[in-house]
């Protein structure tokens, strides 16, 4: 099987050189037993690479199992991966086989491997080193013969530095790395993907396929697509359903895609919000709050300078800053015409808790949607809900 045949078989659209290179490496490594780590942003199609590897390996007639590590709660992930013995924990009413037992002689794909807890990472390392594992609640060592392919959309090396991912496991998984490019770096492929999705949804909904005028085509090719191929597919699905006109213009696009301004021919990626970690998001929220408070401080100072009387000070103190609950306004009487100091409560704990509460309320308790908006995994959100007793 060559690169073009692999793309046809697995429905991969595009002619980007980086994409073709990734597929070519997958085909070359497939006949070996080397562990592979696939990296790339969420929605770039990382799930296709392990399928290509498995179908071109000597294990192709055996089982292929894909596991989303980020979607499994931390308390049950060891049981899911390695199985458990009857009575090993509450609810363990019978013996259970894990994925590594089911996938014996085959291939197991661990998606979002960076979300594995440290205890599970130690178990996984043992499998990689000598093919051994122990079921939860058992002391018996079992053997498995599986090829492990992993994928992540986080910076594993950074996670290693922070102590969140084992360095020895990283090197075992990263025997060979395959990087998938983001959609914004595949500008020529965006329109090809659009045509494919438009045709698919036209067949599904029994309608004529939607098309783009030239202006709309340029908009799509220059948009940053933070959600990559997954976002583009959902976007085309929405247009295919809600638009009566089959020729799509910029007005129809800007009604759906975020960050589009009217008559703006080129869309730029918002670097300040792209690929932020959970903690970086919190820091950005806090710094934005501080910026707003500083603006308020400047306005207040100008107002005092112009009027310079106790009545204004009294009005500001009682009406304006009584609403700024996260800060206390301190105006020394001897310096009312010179300095205004603002002390802010910047508790990461409280701000994180508030963000999670707001997101859960917004999505009516649906953790999956809330986790996606917050930029964290569903398992991480589950843990934080438990920690904050929400």
| Token pair for 366 | 């649906």
- In order of their start, the domains of the chain are 3-181 (3.40.50.300), 184-254 (1.10.8.60), 278-344 (no CATH), 348-388 (1.10.10)
Q: What is the pLDDT of residues 148-188, one digit of tens each?
A: 999 999 899 999 999 999 999 999 999 999 999 999 999 99
Stretches in the chain below the pLDDT threshold 70: 259-349
Crossing angle, helix 348-362 and helix 367-374, to 10 degrees? 130
What is the Cβ-side half-sphere exposure of residue 64, based on CA atoms within 13 angstroms? 17
Q: What is the pLDDT of residue 10?
A: 92
Residue that the structure tokens 């089959």 belong to: 246
Among residues 222, 229, 213, which one has the least CA distance to residue 181? 229
Q: What is the pLDDT of residue 338?
A: 44
Q: What is the pLDDT of residue 389?
A: 74
| Token pair for 21 | 């290179």
Q: What is the pLDDT of residue 329?
A: 40
Q: What is the pLDDT of residue 303?
A: 62
């Amino acid at each position: 099987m060559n690169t073009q045949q692999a793309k046809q078989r697995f429905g991969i659209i595009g002619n980007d050189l980086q994409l073709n290179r990734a597929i070519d490496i997958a085909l070359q490594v497939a006949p070996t037993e080397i562990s592979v780590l696939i990296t790339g942003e969420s929605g770039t199609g990382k799930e296709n690479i392990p399928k290509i590897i498995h179908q071109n390996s000597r294990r192709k007639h055996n089982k292929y199992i894909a596991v989303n590590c980020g979607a499994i709660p931390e308390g049950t992930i060891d049981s899911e991966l390695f199985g458990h013995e009857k009575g090993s924990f509450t609810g363990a009413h019978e013996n259970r086989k894990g994925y590594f037992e089911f996938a014996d002689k085959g291939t197991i794909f661990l998606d979002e491997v960076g979300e594995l807890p440290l205890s599970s990472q130690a178990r996984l390392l043992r499998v990689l080193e000598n093919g051994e594992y122990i079921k939860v609640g058992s002391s018996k060592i079992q053997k498995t013969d599986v090829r492990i392919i992993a994928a992540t959309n986080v910076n594993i090396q950074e996670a290693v530095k922070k102590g969140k991912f084992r360095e020895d496991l990283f090197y075992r998984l990263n025997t060979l790395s395959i990087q998938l490019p983001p959609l914004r770096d595949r500008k020529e492929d965006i329109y090809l993907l659009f045509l494919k999705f438009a045709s698919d949804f036209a067949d599904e909904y029994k309608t004529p396929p939607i098309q783009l005028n030239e202006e709309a085509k340029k908009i799509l090719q220059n948009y940053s697509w933070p959600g990559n191929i997954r976002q583009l597919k959902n976007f085309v699905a929405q247009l295919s359903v809600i638009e009566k006109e089959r020729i799509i213009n910029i007005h129809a696009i800007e009604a759906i895609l975020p960050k589009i301004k009217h008559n703006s021919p080129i869309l730029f990626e918002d670097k300040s919000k792209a690929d932020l970690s959970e903690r970086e998001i919190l820091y950005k929220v806090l710094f934005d709050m501080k910026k707003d408070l500083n603006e308020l401080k400047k306005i207040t100072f100008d107002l005092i300078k112009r009027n310079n009387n106790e009545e204004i000070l009294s009005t500001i103190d009682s009406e304006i800053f009584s609403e700024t609950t996260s800060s206390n306004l301190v105006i020394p009487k001897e310096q009312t015409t010179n300095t205004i100091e603002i002390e802010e409560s910047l508790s990461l704990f409280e701000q994180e808790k508030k963000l999670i509460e707001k997101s859960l309320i917004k999505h009516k308790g649906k953790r999956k949607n809330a986790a996606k908006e917050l930029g964290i995994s569903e398992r991480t959100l589950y843990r934080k809900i438990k920690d904050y007793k929400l």
